[in-house]
A and B are shown apart, each in its own frame.
Chain A
Amino acid sequence: MAQYSFWREKWRLISEGLFRDTPPFFLVIGLCPALAVTTAAINGVIMGIAVTFVLMGAEVIISLLRKWIPRTIRIPVYVIIIAVLVTVIDLVLAGTVPAIHRVLGIFVPLIVVNCIILGRVEAFAAHNTPANAAADALGYGLGYMWALVAIGSIREILGNGTWFGLQIFPEGLPTVDLFKLAPGAFVTMAAVLAALNVIRRRRAPTSEKNAAIPVVSRNAAA
Chain B
Amino acid sequence: MRNAWRMILVLGLVSVASGMILAGFYGWMGPRIEAQQLREQFEVGFKQIFPEAADFKAVTPVEPLPERVEEPVYQALDSSGNVLGLVYNAIGDGYGGPVKVAVGVDPDQGQIVGLAVLSHTETAGLGSRIEEPSFRDQFAGKPVTDPFEVGRDVDGITAATVSSQAVSRAVGETARGVLEALGYSVPDGATHATPDAETHATTSATPDATSHATPAEKAGGAAGPSVEAVQALFGAGVDLGLPLWPVWDEAGAFQGVVVESSADGFKGPIRVLVAIDPVAGRVQGIQVVEQNETKGLGDKVTLPEFTDQFVGMPLDAAFQVGVDVDAVTRATVSSKAVTEAVAQAVEHVKAIVGQGR
- A residues neighboring B (CB under 8 Å): 69-70, 72-73, 76-77, 80-81, 83-84, 87-88, 91-92, 94-96, 98-99, 102, 159, 175, 177, 180-181
Quick check: is B29 within 8 A (CB to CB) of the other chain?
Answer: yes
Task: Given A72-B7, A76-B11, A77-B14, check contact A177 B125 (CB 8 Å).
Answer: yes
12 contacts between A and B (CB under 8 A): A69-B10, A70-B7, A72-B3, A73-B10, A76-B11, A77-B10, A77-B11, A84-B21, A94-B36, A95-B33, A95-B36, A98-B33
Chain B residues 24-45 with CB under 8 Å of chain A are: 25-26, 29-30, 32-33, 36-37, 40, 44
Q: Are B40 and A95 in contact (CB under 8 A)?
A: no
Complex Cα–Cα for A56 and B19 (A): 20
> Which of these, B33, B119, B125, contacts A94 with CB under 8 Å?
B33
Q: Are B36 and A73 in contact (CB under 8 A)?
A: no
> Which of these, B6, B15, B26, B119, contacts A91 with CB under 8 Å?
B26
Task: Given A91-B25, A95-B29, A177-B124, check contact A84 B18 (CB 8 Å).
Answer: yes
**Majority secondary structure, B binding face:** helix
Complex Cα–Cα for A143 and B123 (A): 31
Task: Given A76-B11, A91-B26, A95-B36, check contact A180 B18 (CB 8 Å).
Answer: no
Q: Are A80 and B6 in contact (CB under 8 A)?
A: no
B126 to chain A: which residues have CB within 8 Å?
A: 177
Q: Are A87 and B22 in contact (CB under 8 A)?
A: yes
B123 to chain A: which residues have CB within 8 Å?
A: 181
Question: What distance in Å separates the Cβ of A112 from its nearest Cβ neighbour in chain B?
Answer: 12
B21 to chain A: which residues have CB within 8 Å?
A: 84
Question: What distance in Å separates the Cβ of A187 from its nearest Cβ neighbour in chain B?
Answer: 15
Residue of B with least CB distance to A87: B22
> Which of these, B3, B7, B14, B119, contacts A80 with CB under 8 Å?
B14
Question: What distance in Å separates the Cβ of A150 from its nearest Cβ neighbour in chain B?
Answer: 20
Q: Are B14 and A98 in contact (CB under 8 A)?
A: no
Q: Are A81 and B18 in contact (CB under 8 A)?
A: yes
Q: Are B37 and A98 in contact (CB under 8 A)?
A: yes
Q: List 10 other contacts, CB 8 Å, given A70-B10, A77-B10, A77-B11.
A: A69-B10, A70-B7, A77-B14, A81-B18, A84-B22, A94-B37, A95-B29, A96-B36, A102-B119, A177-B125
> Which of these, A88, A92, A94, A175, contacts B22 with CB under 8 Å?
A88
B125 to chain A: which residues have CB within 8 Å?
A: 175, 177, 180
A99 to chain B: which residues have CB within 8 Å?
A: 40, 44
Complex Cα–Cα for A159 and B123 (A): 13
Residue of A with least CB distance to B38: A98
B6 to chain A: which residues have CB within 8 Å?
A: 70
Residue of A with least CB distance to B21: A84
Complex Cα–Cα for A84 and B20 (A): 10
Complex Cα–Cα for A126 and B245 (A): 80
Complex Cα–Cα for A208 and B15 (A): 47
The 7 closest A-B pairs by CB, nearest first: A177-B125, A180-B124, A95-B33, A84-B18, A95-B32, A91-B29, A94-B33
Residue of A with least CB distance to B25: A88
A73 to chain B: which residues have CB within 8 Å?
A: 7, 10-11
Q: Interface 1/0s, chain B 99-138, versus A by CB < 8 A?
A: 0000000000000000000010001111000000000000
B124 to chain A: which residues have CB within 8 Å?
A: 159, 177, 180-181
